[in-house]
Structure formats: C-alpha cells, structure tokens
Structure 1
Amino acid sequence: MERVEQNLMEPVSNVNLENTKVEVSRGLRRLSFKLESLLIQQGFALFLIGFLLGRALILSHLTPFALPFFAAVYMIRRDRAPIALIGLLAGSLTLSLENITYTFSITILFLISYRLSSKYFQKAELRALPFFVLFTTLTVKLLFIYVQHNQIITTYDLLMAGVEAGLTFILTLIFMQSIPLLSFNKRKRTLKTEEIVSLVILLASVMTGTIGWSLYGLSVEHIFSRYLVLVFAFIAGASVGSTVGVVTGLIFSLANVSSFYQMSLLAFAGLLGGLLREGKKVGTALGLIVATLLIGMYGEAEGSLTQSLYESAAAMFFLLLTPRSLTGKLAKHIPGTVEHSNEQQQYLRKMRDVTSNRVEQFASVFKALSNSFLKMHNGNEEDVEQRELDYFLSNVTEKTCQTCFKKEQCWAKNFHQTYEMMENIVYEVDHGNPNLSQRMSRELEKNCVKGQRVQEAIRQELTHYQANLKLKKQVYESRKLVADQLLGVSKVMGDFAMEIQRERENHYSQEEQIFEAMKIFDIEVENVEIYSLQEGNVDIDMVIPYTSGHGECEKLVAPMLSDILGETIVVQKEEHAGFPGGYCHATFRSAKAYVVESGVAHAAKGGGLVSGDSYSTIDLGSGKYAVAISDGMGNGERAHRESNETLSLLQKILKSGIEEKVAIKSVNSILALRTTDEIFSTLDLAIIDLQDATSKYLKIGSTPSFIKRGDKIIKVEASNLPIGILHDVEVDVVTEQLKAGDLLIMMSDGIFEGPKHVENYDVWMKRKISEIETSDPQEVADLLMEEVIRTRSGEIEDDMTVVVVKIQHNLPKWASIPVSKYKKEKQVS
C-alpha cells in the first residue's frame, strides 16, 4: 500500500517541480522587464552614469566628463537631459561646492549659447556640437580660474584649460557614439570597432567615478574594471579583451597616476581570459588569477598582492553571477563571436526563407492559372462543337420553321427525329455535296413542307458556323498553350525555390582530409570551401598560393580530389593572381561521363554569303547538350532572319529550364502570332544527356537524322508540320540511347534532298554515311557536303547545312592519385 502511494505521489511531485520552474522563469522575466523599464525607459541609468561622471576626475582636478555627457544626452535623448543633469550635479556635489557650481555654470552656458546659435547650424548640429563644448569649456574654465585666484591667468592655467577643453572635445565625439548603444533597442545591430571602443571608454570613464570607494578594504574601481575586462574577454576573446584592458587601464591611469600598473594587469588579464574562454567562465576567471599573480609578484608587495587577489576573486564572483542571457545578448552585437555569427546566419536564413516563400507563391500562382486554363480547355471541345451546332440550327429554324404551321409537330412532338435529320443535312452540305442524297431528299420532303428553303438557309449559315467553330478551336488551343507555358514557368520557379532552400552543408571532415592530402605533396592551401558533395554535382572552391603557373590544380589537386571523392574531378575555372606571392582561386566540379565533339559544314544557295539555314550548339547546363538546325522558308536574308530568330528564341527558353516540348510550343506560338506573312521554319533539335548518353529528338518539319554506330546506321525521324504554320503544333519526342563512339548526323533538306537523280534519299544517305571511314566529325560533315554537291555537278541549288556530333567517354587527362597509399608510405618512413 505504501509503495502504491509512493508511485502516485511521484508524478505529482514532478508536476509541482515543473510548475515551480515555470513560475520562477516568469518571475525572472517580470523582474528583468521592470528593471529595464526603470533603468532605460525612465532614465535611471542616465542618472547613475551622470552621478559617477560628475565625480570623475582626470589628473586629480580636471572634470572633462560632465559637459560632454550632458551635451550628448541633450542631442540624442533630449527628454532625458534633465535627469542626466541632476545626476551630474549630484555627483559633483560629492566632491565640493566648487565642482557643483562649475558643472552647473558650464551646462547653463552651453544651453544658452547653443540655443542662441542653433538656428545657424540646423543642418550640421551634430558636427558643430563638439566645437560648442570645446569653446564653452575653455571660456568657463578661464573665468573660474580668474575669479578663483583673482589674478592674471598664467601659461600653466592656459595649458590646463586647453587640455581639459581638448578632452571634452574628444569625449563629446566618443559619447555621441556610445550613448545610443545604452538604449538597448529591440532592433539588433552589429557594433563597429570604433563603437565598441567608445562604449568601453564610456564605461571606464563611469568607473573612474568610483575611485576612492572601498568595501571591506577592497577597491571598488579595481573590482569593476576587472569585471568589465572579464566580461568582454569571455564574450569576444583575447583581442577584444586585451583592447578593453588597455583602454580601461589607460583611463584609470589618467585619473590616478598611482594606478598605472593596472593597465598592465587589465591588458594581461584580458589576453589570458580571452585565450582560456573555451573553458567557459571558469577558464576566463583563471586567466585573471594568473595575470594577478604574475603582475602582482613583480610589481607589488605581498600584502598588496593578497588584496589584489581578493579584488580579482570578487570580479570572478560577479562574472559567475552574470546571467548567460545577458552575455549572449551582448555577444550578438560584437563581430567575430559565435552568437553574432549565428545571428547573422539566422537573419540570412530568414531572408532566404522569405525569398523562397515568395518564389513558391509565384509558382503556385502560375500553377493555379495553368489549372484554370486547363479546366477551361479540358472536355470542352465537343461541347463547343455541339453548342455551335445548336446556335447554327437555331438560326436556320428561326428563318424557316418559326412561321411554319407544322412547327409544333416537328419540334415539340418529334424533336429528336427532327434534330437528327437536320444534323444529317448539315453533315452532307458541310462535306461539299452540291445536292443531298436521294435518301436524305426523300426524308426531308416527307417530313418538311419547306425542304428547299431549309437547304438554302443551311448553306447560307454554314459559312458563319464554320468560321465560328474555327475561331473557338483556336481560342481553346491558345488556352491550352498558355496553360502549358504557365505550368512550365511554375515548375522552373518551384525548382528555383528548392535551390534557394538548400543550405550549404558543413563538410569539416572532408575539408580536413583535403588539407592533409595537400600537405603530403607540400602544397599549401589557404582555404577550402565545399558547397556540394552530391555525386555528379561536386562543387569545391580552393585558394592556393600562386607559384609559377605549372598547373598544380590540374595535375595534382584535381587527381587527389578524384581519389578522395571517388569520382573524376576536373578544374572548371582557375584565376591566377599573375604575380609572385598572390593567390590562385580554383573551382573544381564533377566531370561529365561523356563529352561531345562537333563538326559543321554549311553553304548558301548559289555559293552566296547568307544562308537560310541556321544551326546552334547549346550547353544547357546541368549536364545537357543541345544541337539544333532551323531552315527558314526560301533562301536569302529573310529566311536566314527567320531561322536564326527561331533558334535564338529556343536557346533562351531552353536555358531558362523550361521543358523542351513547352519551349518549342512557345516558339511556335510567338512566330505564328508575330506576323501574318506565310514564312515558316523547320526545327531539328537533339538534346543529349552527358551523364548517361540518352538523347531526345524533336523534329518539326525537318528531315531525318542518322546515328552511325560502327557499320550500323539508325534513322531517326518524326512527322510534324514546320513551325509557325499551326497555332497548336504537336511535338513528337523520339528517344534513343547513344553509346561511346556514335556519330549523330543532322542535316537540312538541302543535304537530304540535294542529290540529283536519286529516287530513295534514305537509302542513298545511309549508303554514303556507311562508306565514310573516318570518325572525325568535321571530316564527316565535309565529305557529306562534298558528295551532295558532286551529284549536282558542283551546283548549290539550295541552302545546305550538316552538323555531326561524336559521343565519347570523358577520359580524364590525369589519373587519380591514391592519397591513402602515400599516407601509409609516409607513416612507415
């Protein structure tokens, strides 16, 4: 029984513990919010800073901090200037009545002079502010010296007044940069180096106001200065920590010459604490202890060393009490920290996601538009014809049957029989029969008293019916084409959105492996960036010190990468510095499994300069290669312009990533709608995948192509009308698997139908191709051109173009270097 009660009580206690944690977390958040409201929004932080700056001294009697602080607050947070002034006066009062009088007088004189002359500096208030502070300080200081001593002002007095005025000028510039940083805006921003230094100077200046304070014999300014150095060393590392130590120590040494050794201690503590920050707060604190021991043993007596250790221990205690949330929030603003990098990555990730979502939204919009056009098209063609037939028969019956006395009998009692008879009459008239068949004539005479009139009305309305039907079909064909184009754009944008979403993966182990492999051959590598290790799509950037341009990247680096990654890697791009001591930036990519070599032979009609044929070889990216031939109708400049424009449009659309069929239909619609002239073009397109050697052929009104594989000749053909004739062209795709050593031969009709006195062009072309012994693409193209021209006795009666492409295995120029073998040999030796 007791065990059962204990089991029942355990979940209850766990729930209570979780509730307690939640309540504590909420209480801490409320406390943090109230403290932030009190310190920042209500200006209590400015009061505290003003209080400490009001009592801060330089060289024991100079007070250069009060007016720069008030002037900066007055310019940046004018509504909080009275609070800052009260704090300054309260701090000055702790020193003497003379100091509070001086502080009050200098601020009042600054306000009067600034308000009187501000209208002359409306466009340059911030730039003029340091000069107002300078002259105000100089004037008031000299007046106070004159009134206080009641004598002529000496050179020493002028010098000290000038020093204090110069310090106020510099401090005004510093406070104008650092005070906005104390507002802790919700908007995250990255601090510049000068802003960090300005903030440290402000904090160190504030801590000089604690000089002379002690707690249980421990110096307050020493504790908080070391705490400040520890915080920055823990957050930003050795460089920032040592910088903060030097700046803070310099400010303290100016305030009190006896504290000069503090600069060495703080700088050394910042350096060691930053170097040991991998050990978290304990490691940073250990750096302060070591620095205190080393500096204290050489600079101070044993008693002072003990006191210094106590002060360092107090600073360590405050560091350990500092919440992680506060240090993390501050670290996000300092460049070089992990938190700042994560913040930047988060921002970039957010921007990438926003961009990707926008692209996906556009893709979904285009897809929705495509679906809407398809819905308007699918299943409606028969309905359109039926509807147009109904309209047609309605017009006919309106002219004939509307006034007939048998209307009720024909269309009310025998509707289906009458409608079918009218359909048959329309069918016979539509197919060009001048007279109706005997069966149809007898049926019409039997059922209709106005048969001749009905025939005449049908013949009259038939022209309008056919025109409307043709127009409707064109509209629906255009809708389908637009739907295909929108769907193609949607797919491209969807793929682009996925590319945006793909993050660069971390490949630390592979990067280290590359560094180690390079060391084996004494190749220095400055930097390695791996963007993708996907098989067939490797993408690596490397920075290597430039030597003498002996091809290290191609001969050594790429072969070693081939062994490490298990596939052939080649140098895609290489940029040399061009001078000794510079760097070489190289990009390494996966080699394609196949390469193509092309040869072209072409001639214009009659040996002219302008041919109506155009050809193009296009690298589509993503491992695809396209070859296209277009033959414009006729010859000369106009045909050349037509064929060239066809290929230009096709090339741009294909490179955008749209599917081949949609690309060809788009080109066809553009050319068909562009002009009413009857100028058309053929298109012969072959797309070869260089990874597996599959090839697609899209032939629009073009001649057959041939594949030569040893002694075997394969014919590739498709029957489609030339491009630009119909608004909706049907594209048949023929797929063939190519092999290494194959020759793909594409030609225009000037070559295929060029031979004279030949009845079967296919047989003749196959025989000529099989007789060619060379496998060089350019030689094959030249020989075919020469054979055709010879049959014409040297006459070129039409534009001629032949393109020959040879498929080969991509054999790397340099074999891979087995890196693991050299590693073992090096370890054995």
Structure 2
Amino acid sequence: MGKANQTIIEPVQNVDIEHTRLELSKGIKSIYSKLEWLFVQKGIALFIIGFLLGRALILSHLTPFALPFFASVYLVRREKSPVALLGLLAGSVTLSFSSISYTFASTIIFLVIFRLTQKYHKNELKYVAFYVLFTVIGVKLAFSYIQQDQVLTIYNGVMAMIEATLAFLLTYIFIQSVPLVTVQRRRRSLKTEEVVSLIILLASIMTGTIGWAVYSLSIEHILSRYLVLLFSFVAGATIGSTVGVVTGLIFSLASVASFYQMSLLAFSGLLGGLMKEGKKFGAAIGLLIATLLMGMYGNSDTVLTKTLYESGVAILLLFLTPQSLALKIAKHIPGTPEYQQEQQGYMRRVRDVTANRVTQFSSVFQALSNSFQQIEEQFEEEEDKEFDYFLSNVTEKTCQTCFKKDQCWSRNFDKTYNLMKDVMNEFDQGKIPLSPRLHRELDKHCTKEKKLQDTIYQELTFYQANLKLKKQVKESRRLVADQLLGVSEVMGNFAKEIQRERENHHIQEEQILRSINDFGIEIENIEIYNLEQGNVDIDMTIPYCGGHGQGEKLIAPMLSDILGENIVVYKEDCAQFPNGYCQMTFRSAKKFVVDTGVSHAAKGGGLVSGDSFSMIELGAGKYAVAISDGMGNGERAHFESNETLRLLKKILESGIEEEVAIKSVNSILSLRTNDEIFSTLDLAMIDLQNASSKFLKIGSTPSFIKRGDKVMKIEASNLPMGMLQHDFDVDVVSEQLKAGDLLIMMSDGAFEGPKHVENYDLWMKRKVNELETDEPQEVADILMEEVIRSSSGLIEDDMTIVVSKIKHNIPKWSSIPVQKTHEKDKKRIS
C-alpha cells in the first residue's frame, strides 16, 4: 500500500515542480517583455542615450554627436524624437549653458530647414547628412561670432569644419546603428558595417561618462573594457581588437589623457579573442595580461593598482552577463558560428519546420511518459523467473525449517524442483485433489506433504496475479510500439516532402518572382516551401512598404491569379524604419471556416464541471471540435475529461490520424490508473478544404446537423475511453457538410436533461428544428436554456453544448481585379 501511494504521489510532485518551473519562466519572460516595452516603446533608452551623447565631447569642446543622433532618431522613429531631444538637452546642461543653447539651436534650425525643403527631395536618407553638415557649420560659426565679440578667426572656421565633418560622418553611422538598439524588428544578421556602426555608437555613448568615477575608479575605463571583453568573448580576436581600436580612438579624441587606453583596449581585445576557447575565464585572463603590460606605462604603482581594479570590475560585469545575452549578440556578428547558422537561408527554414514538428512529437512522448506512472522494465524468461519467485516463497514457508532441507535441495534438486512444478501445474489446471500418481510421489519424497500442498495452493493465487500483470505490461509495450510506429511513418513522409521541395521549388521561385516583377512590384527575395493545391506556403521579403498593406492588397491577389486559388497573408512583419525589409508569409486560403459557440453548466450550478471541450485548429487544414465527459461530477471528473482532451490535442497536432490518436489515448487512460474512472469522447474532424467531416463517438450522445429545415442525427456505439485495453475499435461516421450547416454536439447531461421526455432524439430534433437563428453562440444558449427550463430549472448533471457553423471563407481583398497572368507562365509554375 505504501508503494502504491508513493507511485501516485511522485508524479503529482513532478507535475507541481514542472508547473512551478513554467510559471517562473513565464514570469521572467513577462519581466523582460515589460522592460523591453518600457525602454524601447516608451523611449527611455533613447533618453538615456541622448543624455550621454549630449554631454560627450571631442577635443575637449566639440560636440558633434548631438545633432546626428537627433536627425537619425527623427528619421527612424519620428514620434520619439522629442524624447531624444530632451535627453540631449539634459546631457548638454551638465556641461554649460552655452552647450545647451548650442544643442537646442542646432536641432531647431535643422528641423525648420528640413521640414521646409522636405517636399523637394524624395529620398530623405541621401540628404539628411548634408542638412546636418550645413546646420552645424552655420550654428557653430554663429555661436563663435557671438561669443568672441563679433569676431571670427581662421581657428574658428577650422574647428567648425572639423565638427561639421564629424557630424556628417556620424549621421550616416547613427542612421544604421540607432535602429539596432531602439526598434523591435524581425531578427536578422547584421552586416559588417552595421556592426562597426553599432560599436561607434556604443563608444560615443560611453564618452558621455568621461569624468565619472566611483571610489576613484573611472566609469569610462570600466565600461570600455567590459565592452571589449564582451565582444572578444562573443566574436573572437578580430572583432575584439576592432572594438578595442575604435573605442580607444574615440576616447583618445574625447580626452588626450585617455590616449594610452587605445593600446590597452586593442591588446586586451586581441588576447581575449585568442583565448575565447577558455570561455569567460580566457577573455578575463587576456584583459589582465594586457592590463599588466600596458599598466607599466604609468608613473607609479598607484596607477597600476587602479588600472587593475578597473579591469577587475569589468571582468566581474562579464561574469554577471547572462549567457543568453552573449548568444543573442553572437547571432548578429559576422564570423561567429551562430552567424553562419543564421545565414543558411532556405535550409534554416527547413530546419525550423523540422524542429517544430519534432517538438510536437516530443510533446506527445512527454504526454505518454507523464500518463504512465511506472517505468517499463524489460523482462526475459518472465515465466521462469516468476516460477522461481513462486518456489522461493513456498520453500521459505515449508522447507526452510525442515530437517530434510539439505537432502531435498542439495542432493535431489532437480527432482524436488520438478515435483513442485508438477503440483503447481495440476492446481493451476483445477485438479484438486492431486492425481494419485503425483500424490504418491509427493508423499514419498516430502515429510510435510500436506503443508506443502496448502502453501502451493495459497501462493498460486499470487503467482497467477503476477503473470497477469506481466502480460498486461507486455501488451502495453506492444501498444506503445504501435504508436511509435505511427509517429515514425509521419516523420518519414514529412522528410520525403522536404527533400522533394528542395529539388524542385527553386525553379518556381524564379518564375513567380519574374511574374510579380512584371506587375511593377519589387521583390527582394522569395522562398517557396509548398505549391500543393490547397496547401501553398510562400515566404517573401520586400522593401519597406510603409505599412500600406501591399502584401494583402496587391501581392496576395496576384498570387491568387498566378496559382489559380485564393492566397492570403498568413503572417506579416513590417520593418519599422525606412531602409528595412518587410517579411511576409502567404498561405492557401481555406475554402471554409468554422464559427463556434459554447454553452456549459456544472451540476447544481457549481463552479467545476466534469465536462471539457476543445476547438483545435490543426496545421493540415483541419478543424477539430471535441467534448469529453468524465464519469461523475466535480474535480476528478473534470481532471479525467480534461486529460483526455489534452492528450488527444497533443497527438492530433503531431499529424497522427484520428483513429490511431483515439486508440493511443484509450490505451494510456486504461493503463495509467486502476480506478474505475472513465470518460466519453465526442470528436468531429472537419476538413476546411472540402467541408467533409468525420465523427468519432466514444460512449457519447448523438450529434445533430441542421441544414435548412432538415435535421440529421449522427450516432455511433463505442464504450467510454479507458474501459477496454485490447480489441478497441473506433466506429467512424463520415458526413459531407455544406456552407450554412449547423453542427450541434452535446454531453449526456444536456441530451438527457429533460426527465419527462420519453424520446430524447425526437425532442432534441424538434427543438433544433424550431430554432430561428443560425448564430452558433445564440443557438448554444437557446438550447441550454430549453434543457434547463424543461427540467424545472434544476441542473442535475454537468451539461455542455457546442455549436459550430460552416461558412465559406471569402478573403478580404479577393474581389480586386488584377491583370491576368499569361497562360504559359501559369502552366510552367504549376
């Protein structure tokens, strides 16, 4: 009994632990999403970056970062440009009143000139840097003229040109790098120039921390070394040394005192990248070696000690950096293994699809393993082993205290063994008392013949029970093997599909690309994964569309004309900045859609119903509606019915056919518990391409189809789920549905609710036929109200009614006329 309780409790504890782990993971993801929303969507990140760039200096008094940053944000995220301007002004005010006046004046003048002349140029990206150049020259000279008593010198002109040139270059750099840190977009790998631009932006931001110190440790030194450490650890020596050189160069321009930092950062980036195979420890050792070597340029031990402390803090920050962040950065940097994986294009998509399918199979296996409460063991020569255990128990109670023990078991082992086996076999065959011959042999051989017979007879019951249990375990192994065979067939067929698509579809990609280009629509890239009728799957990459719905309004109708069937935009990811790309996925529009309404009530108006229902949209263009009724009421019945639907959903989503899925669920439910708890299942599978349907009813009540004034009944007879392990057959009823049909499914509580009714079928048909509405939710509510009203307002059992309406699927823009594709091109594509 104790073992049984332990077997029941342990899976519950595992489920609780897994549930806690999932809840913790969801909580962390929720925190990350909220922080991302706060910093990216609300613009706090832009404010912080603007604050640091607003106080960043070059050559001690030049501020070339402010206007390029504002101009970049104005182009990329125009609605957030006021936030960026506030950050720039807040940073400038920490320098001087003159600095904030200069920053404010330059941004206002830039805005006025840019807006006034905006209508004269179409491509803003080409000309914005020139606006920044001339604005900086004009404002800088004006401020110099005012500050020096209306006198301009050659020095003022040279410094104005230097700052304007830097601002001109920084504008192009920031336009590429600002979207990388402020815009949520589809993940893609970065180009080399984008990586360098991002490094320049980060280094420029860090120059805003010059002069900050904590316990005499320089903040800019700590952050710059941490940045070099991170990139060298993630991307290797090349990127690490590049980051070191770029960061050191910008720091040396900002402050001459930081000139020696260029050597330290470049050398530490090189060493850290070379030692990246040692993980974070290797990169840290590289920084320490570089710090020791370069620190010797200092004038005293104090300088070296301070530099080591700064490097130590940077190393600490590296170890505190989550591994997930490092991997995320590595995926965007050229040269890393992660970057190479991201660049595989078509094969990456194939791997993703395969991985998703394998993940679904994995969830099926997980559901199977969770449902079983004991580990399957391998048994060899099971009957011989069980007989040995049987004899062991018999001899322990009889021979163990007998004075002839050694004579029987040491000298005449075979005879004793065979004699006991014969006695057991005769008892097993019902020969009581024993045959005279065997009785004489046993009496002659054993001095405790009577006690031995009684003990064998008693132990035989346990022996037979153990053999029966072994047989059940063996049968369950066979059932699981059949299920795994079904999974194997699905995976094999799917692998063949992928191989076939790889060989053929590149030709169709070129043909569709040429056909759409003839319409005047520019397509950056196209990938076709399936062209099967009714199951088309196409990915496209187009230049920035400005959110005008180009894919839905133009490309999808054109693809519909080219392929001869309705194509819709399945998924769309538009770029949030002008120089980006929009990613679109096009799929076949299903010919039919299903609207579903549900009405349910628990027994006695309670909160927990023993009924469960589910609507499942399967990837193969099928829609499943299911109701499960657990035996009894309350939480246990709800658990059983919900578990039935959960397992069924997992198995159906993996692609296994319906009959095999139901047999699998039945075998799981019958093997996982000894309690007499069963559940019914009412499943309708609707093909959204032709509206054909299959009804699989396991111990459930009839369903009804209302087509105009006609009401049809669908019924089948099977025992409830989990009642039988073997020879379980599923009766499948097929029916062709039509647009406008109402499919009404219900549990037995709703079907048999009216106690005064003699013929439930006729009563329910009449109520369905009297319906004056065809809205699924209204129908479900009306029928539920009729059932409860006919029972005098009493709810004597859990009741669930699910109503589904079949409708034609009409895509939103399918009526747009397009130029007809040449018939020859259509034939080539098909």
Verify same fold: TM over 0.5: no
Q: Normalising by structure 1, what TM-score?
A: 0.44
Q: TM-score, normalized by length of structure 2?
A: 0.44
Q: Flag the structure with more relative contact order, 1 or 2, with Cα contacts below 8 A and sequence separation at least 6.
A: 2
Q: Which has the larger radius of gyration?
A: 1
